[in-house]
A and B are shown apart, each in its own frame.
Chain A
Amino acid sequence: MTATDPVHETVNAVYLSDSRRVLATLIRLLGDFDVAEEALHDAFRAALEQWPRDGVPANPRAWLVSAGRFKAIDSMRRRARFDALDDVGDKADIAVDDPAAWADEESVEDDRLRLIFTCCHPALSPDAQVALTLREVCGLTTEEIAQAFLTPAPTLAQRIVRAKAKIRVARIPYQVPTHADLPERLETVLRVIYLVFNEGYTASSGASVTRHDLSAEAIRLGRLLVELLPEPEAQGLLALMLLHESRRTARTSMSGELVRLDDQDRSLWDRGQIAEGTRIIERALSSGRVGPYTIQAAIAAVHAEAPTAAETDWAEIVGLYDVLSRGDSSPVIELNRAVAVAMRDGPEAGLHLIDAILERGDLLDYRLAHAARADLCRRLGRTADALASYKRALALTRQEPERRFLERRLAELDA
């Protein structure tokens, strides 16, 4: 047993580093997600049996793809009731199988992109895109995904089954989009990754502020995407996630309470992530094709560069929000701009902008709009308005630490 342990460790290590790559190639070769997943497991089972006996192959990944493909074809043929004689012939066939046809670096890297774009195909529902990406690209189990999204596991399993059925029945092709479709399709992929990140960073519900695993998974995905497809907006998103992530420790107090940006202990910010994020933004900006993720990352970088909250360059931030809303004007961006204006020009100016958004009927059910309004009213000494807005925000929040934060504010004002 001891003699085989290093080999077992090798198999485990290869599983961690390469199982998604092998799966991505198997899906292309076998044309079906479920068949490929079964083949992947068969291949690793075969590795556990054969590597201790025959030694670890020179190219484990190619060996696994070959073994998985063989196992799948074998079981397909057995299911189709081919007779035993044919089986012998097939095995000989596989032995001379030429890995060069599919194992070269470029087509294998393309397979990973194919997998990402297929999981994030716009013909799948956004929920299904997220679940499928975490399952197939990140290798999370259905139970892990269900837990992270506070969804019952059977619901999530069903979602994945339906998505795979749609890929098969409607014939969603396993390919990287053509040049013409790329910008739009990339947008869907980026949205899925950012959604996963946000679910981990500001979990929309539940007992804690953040769910670290999902954010880490999203950053891993972002890195993979930038590596495979160095588009400026993919870089912008990765930078944005890194800059948010750099503040993770400072965002919650020891007792699990939410700490606002201006109250955070900036010595807790992760300088390594800030430096990396800033470097990536510079690369994205130099492309000359600047999109919303890159601008949001630039805003996060302005915060990251300020030694204290008071020294934040709010004029620069308002300017960046102006650029952002020129490209894609949404009420949430307007709200963020209003908060920045309040910091630059005083609470009165910000409140005026927020009230204009709410009077238009936008963001009425958005807890952060009411929380921001409450905060500005509080600073202006308009206690009754502040109380009303805090209460509205409190009624809308589904997150425990946020609820406690708002209750504290309410208690302070009432006193």
Chain B
Amino acid sequence: MKYLCLVYLEEQRLHAVPDSECVACGVGLRTSGLLIAAEALQPVDTATTVRVRNGRVSITDGPFAETKEQLAGFYLIEARDLNDAIQVASKIPPAREGSVEVRPVRELTP
């Protein structure tokens, strides 16, 4: 089963964990076959939100909600169950600076 681990950090903590540590974490997870994909994201002020309403594309600056923590990166992992996914999430380095939201992936029905 796939889980998406969403890493949230406060703006000023975005670089609190050295990149090298995050790279090492990703390599470790990939070697043990748990990792499907992982990326870090640019800060939220580089974000653009796209909506389509009544067939018209609307583009706005940034994310809709003003929150203290922002999405800083993600890990898409393969885990047997939620307990295993939590195990993995707790080893993601930024978990000690911000938070990691663990979401089960929904398989689309074609």
Contacts and interface: CB of A to CB of B under 8 A. Distances in A.
A173 B87 CA distance: 13
23 contacts: A121-B82, A123-B82, A123-B86, A169-B104, A169-B106, A170-B82, A170-B102, A170-B104, A171-B1, A171-B80, A171-B81, A171-B82, A171-B104, A172-B81, A172-B82, A172-B83, A173-B80, A173-B81, A173-B82, A173-B83, A175-B83, A177-B83, A181-B83
A170 B85 CA distance: 10
Interface in A130-181: 169-173, 175, 177, 181
B29 to A, nearest CB: 19
Interface in B59-110: 80-83, 86, 102, 104, 106
Interface of B: 1, 80-83, 86, 102, 104, 106
Contacts of B102: 170
Nearest to A180: B87
Nearest to A174: B81
Contacts, number: 23
A184 to B, nearest CB: 11
Interface string A243-268: 00000000000000000000000000
Interface residues of A, number: 10
Contacts of A169: 104, 106
Interface string A97-114: 000000000000000000
B91 to A, nearest CB: 13
A110 to B, nearest CB: 16
Contacts of A172: 81-83
Contacts of B82: 121, 123, 170-173
Contacts of B1: 171
B100 to A, nearest CB: 13
A414 B82 CA distance: 59
Contacts of B83: 172-173, 175, 177, 181
Contacts of B80: 171, 173
Contacts of B104: 169-171
A219 B100 CA distance: 36
Given A169-B104, A172-B82, A173-B82, 12 more contacts: A121-B82, A123-B86, A169-B106, A170-B82, A171-B1, A171-B81, A171-B82, A173-B80, A173-B81, A173-B83, A177-B83, A181-B83
Nearest to B103: A170
Contacts of A121: 82
Contacts of A175: 83
Contacts of A170: 82, 102, 104
A177 B83 CA distance: 9
A181 B86 CA distance: 11
A181 B106 CA distance: 27
A171 B104 CA distance: 8
A217 B80 CA distance: 34
Most buried by A among B1, B80, B82, B104: B82
A170 B81 CA distance: 7
A175 B104 CA distance: 19
A173 B1 CA distance: 12
A177 B80 CA distance: 15
A171 B1 CA distance: 9
A171 B102 CA distance: 12
B74 to A, nearest CB: 17
